[in-house]
Amino acid sequence: MKTHLMFGALLGAALALVGPLAGEGRGDFTLHGNEQLTVDTYLGYGTLYDQSRARIVSGGFVDGLSAFDASVVDICGGGVSGLYAYQASAVHFSSGVVDHLTPQGGCVVDISGGSLTDLTAYDASVVHFSGGSVSWLCAWGASAVQLSGGTMNYLIARESSVVDISGGSVSNLCPQGGSVVDISGGSVSDLDVRDASVATFWGLDFHLGEGLYLEGDRVLGMGVLSGEWFDGTPWAVNISTNESGATILVIPEPATVVLLALGGLALLHRRGAAFVPGPNS
């Protein structure tokens, strides 16, 4: 009987010791200075300051994460439920899953892989998107989005934000509130241009489908616009909304304009060389 009581007491003490240790694995964390942390287990909420760095790898998960100052978050596996990045902080996302990402105040985000549900950028933040997938991306307050790869379902630009699309695919593109969009590659399925926003297509061999017509370089009406990119890749976009205050332009690739200009100069040169002045010229 005494043996059983002693064993029970030892087991209870062991469980009491294991309990706090397991709880620490689910606790919060704060990094300062140049501190670095690799997250490969489940954690609660993390906060980064100064030049600290958190690296989330396969098997790691953080419920919530806030990055301030010049701190850096690397997501190369695992996941984050909510990530908020402020000031001069940076986020590098190459694989894993993030539910909500909110950069603010000039933060820089690089996304080359992984899956992201919602990204909302504020206050002149910059998003470089070259791979992975995003369900919803919204840029506010003069933020910038550069898309060269990957897939997006919705891309919305508001409050004078700037979007540059040279690759990847966007299902629904909607510039609003004086935003500017330049498209020179990739694919856009549906274009919804509102307010005083401007969307410009840089390409070749433009074709206007039924319901569209040109006024100079400006596309008016709604319908299917198609053409080729400078590398010869064909594309087509359905213009579903083209408000009277908005502007959609079709402009030849700048390199093509230069070549045409050089060709014209060469032709003038040949014509001048072929002209031999006569005595009465």
Q: Measure the CA–CA gap between 254 and 49, rounded to whole angstroms.
A: 44
pLDDT for position 63: 97
**Average confidence (pLDDT) over 220-233:** 97
CB of 227 closer than 8 Å to CB of 217 = no
No. of helices (H) and no. of strands (E), the chain: 2, 19
Q: What angle do CA 155, 161, 164 make, to 5 degrees?
A: 65
The pLDDT of residue 173 is above 90: yes
pLDDT for position 133: 98
pLDDT for position 135: 98
The pLDDT of residue 10 is above 50: no
State both tokens at 5.
């009581």
Q: Measure the CA–CA gap between 117 and 130, rounded to whole angstroms.
A: 16
The pLDDT of residue 186 is above 50: yes
The alpha carbon of 228 is separated from its chain's Cα centroid by a whole number of angstroms, namely 23
The DSSP code sequence of 169-219 is EEEEEEE-TT-EEEE-SSEEEEEEE-TT-EEEEEEEEEEE-TTEEEETTEE
**Average confidence (pLDDT) over 168-177:** 98
pLDDT for position 144: 98
User: Position 52: which residue type?
Assistant: S
For 149-168, the pLDDT digits (tens) are 999 999 999 999 999 999 99
Half-sphere exposure of 86 (CA within 13 A, CB side): 10
For 248-259, the pLDDT digits (tens) are 999 986 544 444
Q: Among candidates 146, 148, 153, 244, which has minimal Cα distance to 193? A: 244
Average model confidence (pLDDT) for the chain? 87
Q: What is the pTM of this model?
A: 0.82
Element (DSSP H or E) covering residue 61: strand 61-67
Residues written for the chain: 281
What dihedral do alpha carbons 153, 156, 162, 163 form, nearest 10°?
A: 20
CB of 177 closer than 8 Å to CB of 156 = no
Report the DSSP pairing between strands 187-193 and 198-208.
unpaired
51: left (phi over 0), alpha (psi -120 to 50) or beta: alpha
